[in-house]
Amino acid sequence: MKILITGGSGFIGSYLAEYLLKSGHYVVILDNLSTGRLANIKNIYRHKNLEVHIDTIFNRDLMDELVKGCDQIYHLAAAVGVRFIVDNPVQTIETNVGGSEVLLKIANKYKKKILIASTSEVYGKSDELPFKEDAMRVYGPTTIRRWSYAESKAIDEFLALAYLHEKKLPVVIARLFNTVGPRQSGQYGMVVPRFVQQALLDHPITVYGDGKQSRCFGYVGDIVEAIVKLMDNEKCIGQIYNIGTSEEITIYDLAKKVKELTNSKSQIKLIPYEEAYEEGFEDMQRRIPDLSKAGRDINYKPKVSLTRILQEIIEYYKK
């Protein structure tokens, strides 16, 4: 098959591209390198079944040509990372809403199956844990820029489902929970690569807030396998799936674990949210996926533990 990945030079996109190439597919990457990097795809760059377009999703002529020529689309191109979103709210909203709008319209023109990479952020600060796909979404005020990410991704979900309902476009939605692994950059806010780099340099490990907030960190390889299964299963059309892991850790304990695994001399430093992000910043206290739907429909079960993931990331940064 010929498969288009928007955001294919991003962290998750690059692993997906490798996986699909290994499975024998022809892969077309579209990426504007806003947060993606060519270094992410350096191992596959010269693969005979890979085509890379460094361009924007707003180039409608190019998108028309790429979508027309492919069999499936993974839509991963988006503004991501809490740091990036707080600093670039216009780009966040325009890319995440407008970019998906362009792509869905063209996907519908040629009736190409499309997987939308959504996010656990859409649950917002709901405390109905673990999050089920049909749960309530709870957001803060529009003056807090971080919420623009959740809103923009929720609009993508609405639009994709609207295309299915009105136009019979085959769509599937994956709500990705915190996904980590080698190659992820800490530059846009993501905590795990930041802590690992800080620890390896014996710099202070910067825990925001009181560190009692928790997350579940899934391995990028597990996540990629899952989204391919979602795409390839007819049963998943029109459905939303949580994809991640339910192994929970507080951010303070994560800092301790990273310090331990790296034998670091770093101090663990608490930094108020206002200083780290923006005035009035709101964080999610806990974020745990209910994975039973993905378990039932695609037999999904995360395989890699947090300790193993951290060891792999530490090795990557040491090199």
List active site positions: 149
Q: Note whether 189 binds ligand UDP by CB under 6 A.
A: yes
8 A C-beta contact, residue 164 and residue 236: no
Instruction: Give 179's strand partners.
Output: 218
The residue from 152, 178, 242, 245 that contacts ligand UDP (CB under 6 A) is 178
111 by DSSP, 3-state: which?
coil
Beta-strand pair 214-216/248-250: antiparallel
Residues 232-291 that bind ligand UDP (CB under 6 A): 251, 283
Q: Note whether 179 binds ligand UDP by CB under 6 A.
A: no
Distance CA(265)–CA(60), nearest Å, equals 51
Least distance from ligand UDP to the Cβ atom of residue 13, Å: 18
Least distance from ligand UDP to the Cβ atom of residue 55, Å: 27
Least distance from ligand UDP to the Cβ atom of residue 96, Å: 14
113 by DSSP, 3-state: which?
strand
Q: Note whether 194 binds ligand UDP by CB under 6 A.
A: yes
The residue from 66, 172, 190, 310 that contacts ligand UDP (CB under 6 A) is 190
Least distance from ligand UDP to the Cβ atom of residue 153, Å: 12
8 A C-beta contact, residue 125 and residue 284: yes
Angle between helices 220-232 and 11-22 (to 10 degrees): 60
Closer residue to ligand UDP (CB): 6 or 206 = 206
Candidates 230, 25, 19; CA nearest to 118 is 230
> Which residues have C-beta within 8 Å of that of residue 105, sequence separation ≥ 6?
none
Q: Note whether 175 binds ligand UDP by CB under 6 A.
A: no
Closer residue to ligand UDP (CB): 40 or 72 = 40
Candidates 212, 182, 209; CA nearest to 196 is 182
Q: Note whether 207 binds ligand UDP by CB under 6 A.
A: yes
8 A C-beta contact, residue 202 and residue 144: no
Q: Note whether 208 binds ligand UDP by CB under 6 A.
A: yes
Interface with ligand UDP by CB under 6 A: which range of 46-54, 70-78, 166-174, 201-209?
A: 201-209
Interface with ligand UDP by CB under 6 A: which range of 45-53, 90-98, 134-142, 200-208?
A: 200-208
Four-CA torsion 84, 88, 92, 94, nearest 10 degrees: -160
Q: Phi-psi bin for 263: left (phi > 0), alpha (psi -120 to 50), beta?
A: left
Closer residue to ligand UDP (CB): 222 or 236 = 222
Closer residue to ligand UDP (CB): 283 or 312 = 283
Q: Note whether 59 binds ligand UDP by CB under 6 A.
A: no
Instruction: Give 240's strand partners.
Output: 173
Q: Note whether 41 binds ligand UDP by CB under 6 A.
A: no
8 A C-beta contact, residue 19 and residue 224: yes
The residue from 72, 95, 108, 206 that contacts ligand UDP (CB under 6 A) is 206
Please give the residue ranges that form the binding site for ligand UDP (CB under 6 A): 82, 178, 189-191, 194, 206-208, 213, 215, 251, 283
